[in-house]
Amino acid sequence: METQIGQHLIQPADRMNGLPTQFFAKLVAKANAQVAKGRDVINLGQGNPDQPTPPHIVAKLQEAAANPLYHKYPPFSGYPFLKEAVAKRYKEDYDVDVDPTTEVAILFGGKTGLVEISQCLLNPGDVCLVPDPGYPDYWSGVALAGAEMSFMPLIEQNNYLPDYGAIPSEIADRAKLMFMNYPNNPTGAVANAEFYANTVAYAREHGIVVASDFAYGAIGFDGSKPISFLQTPGAKEVGVEFYTLSKTYNMAGWRVGFAIGNAQIIKLINLMQDHYYCSLFGGIQEAAALALTGPQDCVDDLKARYERRRNALFAALDRIGWKADRPGGSFFCWLPVAPGYTSESFADLLLYEADVVVAPGVGFGTHGEGYVRLGLLTDEARLEEAVERIGKLNLF
């Protein structure tokens, strides 16, 4: 990756050359090329919420935008009222006590914090434990820190939970950070209290910081509410949780997230952000606080909407003989590919022969091979139509 300026080559820093390939940029380009040809493409491959932000949150931003106070620089680590709103939500939803002054960091979306924590904690040569399959942006932070990744396979036989006993002791002793994510992207799996208790014990034994990605924490199905890692005794001693308003309140474009938990880690994240940012626009912070402290009916309605979509999708899958486990949470479904295909060749087949976009599982890690991810991000009729199109290919 070099270019010319005068007689000299511009040579990027090594960290730029070490960044992972953005797999999903290729997926988007393929889909857009088909749309440009006039094809009626049903895109189930991306994780972008399709519903608008609830009106009361939008109205609060419109009102707050006129406040001259917010036209100045905000406090570097964010307004106290937003941190207090985070603490209130966690107490109400999870009965977790959070000190808003020392245990909350405001983020430019959850992704930012998930990349920053590696840079806060990892040196070159350190090891980070990463789920496979998992959210690819975990890899980005580790690469920017110059550290190494050791992958924890998530397989169906273990309910897509990592097996800590299978991690070699020499890897565990070198590891300083571990990512986990439940409800899970891409598999839709959920974690229970026993798993989180084992995680805290494992982290203590080996001196590992846990980064819990709780982006889909509001989305659980079949009457089950996902639990927070921070509900586990001792969790704050070993880690932090990352939460975002993107999925819970359909605020993906607003870029509001939080890190919550261990005060020392929160202090490091805030220090890192002091050198990057000057916090979020105050009007957005006020609207975010209202989202967290105001009526939560919109969250219940959204969860019910995704459950209806999931049920409609799987009823259609049953009709064409495509067998898979229903997700317990998130808005993703993890489906095995048809015999004889890789995840990428199968995704290409569905795009070019059925005008349906799905995400190849290999884009989430080597253990994603053999699967594709579908998002529940369009209405039931379009989900059913997508499955009907696939059914006409007679693959199952």
Q: What is the average pLDDT value for the chain, to the nearest integer?
A: 95
SS3 268: helix
Tokens of 96: 């977790």
Nearest to 252 by CA among 210, 282, 199, 288: 288
- DSSP letters spanning 329-363: BSSEEEEEPPTT--HHHHHHHHHHHH-EE-EEGGG
**Backbone angle region of 73, left / alpha / beta, with phi > 0 → left and psi within -120 to 50 → alpha:** beta
Residues 212-233 pLDDT 10s: 999 999 999 999 999 999 999 9
What per-residue confidence (pLDDT) applies to 209?
98
Q: What is the pLDDT of residue 195?
A: 98
296 burial level (CB within 10 Å; 0-12, 13-18, 19+): middle
The pLDDT tens digits for 198-209 are: 999 999 999 999
Q: What does the pLDDT read at residue 244?
A: 97
| 19, amino acid identity | L
Whether 5 shows a pLDDT value over 70: the answer reads no
User: What pLDDT was estimated at residue 231?
Assistant: 98
In the three-class reduction of DSSP (H, G, I as helix; E, B as strand; rest coil), residue 11 is classed as coil
**What SS3 state is found at 387?**
helix
> Is the predicted pLDDT of residue 247 greater than 60, yes or no?
yes
Q: How confident is the model at residue 84 (pLDDT cuts 50, 70, 90)?
A: very high
Res. 20 pLDDT band, cuts 50 70 90: confident
Q: Helices H, strands E: what count in the chain?
A: 15, 14
Instruction: Please give the pLDDT value at position 78.
Output: 95
pLDDT value of position 116? 96
Mean pLDDT, residues 314-325 taken together: 97
As a whole number of angstroms, the distance between CA 310 and CA 246 comes to 20
**Scanning the structure block, which residue is given the tokens 């499955």?**
387
Here the tokens at position 260 are 């919550």
- pTM for this predicted structure: 0.94
- Span 341-361, average pLDDT: 96
> What's the residue count for the chain?
396
Distance CA 225, CA 333 (A): 18
CA distances from 273 to 65, 113, 186, 279, 375 (A): 24, 9, 28, 8, 32
User: Please, are residues 206 and 127 in contact by the beta-carbon 8 Å criterion?
Assistant: no
What does the pLDDT read at residue 60? 98
The pLDDT confidence band at residue 302, using thresholds 50, 70 and 90, is very high
Residue 255 tokens read as 């870029």
Q: Tell me the β-bridge partners of 268.
A: none
Specify the residue for token string 């001693």: 237
pLDDT band at 17 (very low <50, low <70, confident <90, very high): confident
> How many Cα atoms are found within 13 Å in the side-chain-facing hemisphere of 191?
28
Give me the residue spans of the domains in the chain: 3-52+298-391, 74-293
Confidence of residue 4 (pLDDT cuts 50, 70, 90): low
The pLDDT score that the predictor gives to residue 172 is: 95
Looking at per-residue confidence, does 364 or 22 come out higher? 364
Span between the terminal Cα atoms of the chain, in Å? 43
The CA distance from 43 to 351, in Å, is 9
CATH of region 74-293, choose from 3.40.640.10, 3.30.450.20, 3.20.20.70, 3.40.50.300: 3.40.640.10
Residue 164 main-chain phi, psi, to 5 deg: -65, -30
Contact present, 231 and 193 (Cβ < 8 Å)? yes
Q: At 334, phi and psi to the nearest 5?
A: -115, 110
pLDDT of residue 28: 87
The answer to whether residues 135 and 185 touch, using CB atoms and an 8 Å cutoff, is: yes
User: Rounded CA gap, 349 and 352, in Å?
Assistant: 5
Q: Does domain 3-52+298-391 have CATH number 3.30.450.70?
A: no
Half-sphere exposure (Cβ direction) of 124: Cα atoms closer than 13 Å: 4
> pLDDT tens, 151-190?
999 999 999 999 999 999 999 999 999 999 999 999 999 9
Nearest to 334, CA basis, from 191, 188, 213: 188
**Whether residue 1 has pLDDT greater than 90:** no
Q: Give the span between the Cα atoms of 362 and 129, in whole angstroms.
A: 18
CA distance 241 to 262: 9
- What does each C-alpha distance from 21 to 40, 61, 307, 361 come to in angstroms? 28, 36, 33, 15
Cα dihedral sign, 287-292-296-302: positive
Q: Which pLDDT tens digit goes with each residue over 277-292?
A: 889 999 999 999 999 9
CA dihedral 291, 326, 213, 56 (to 10 degrees): -10
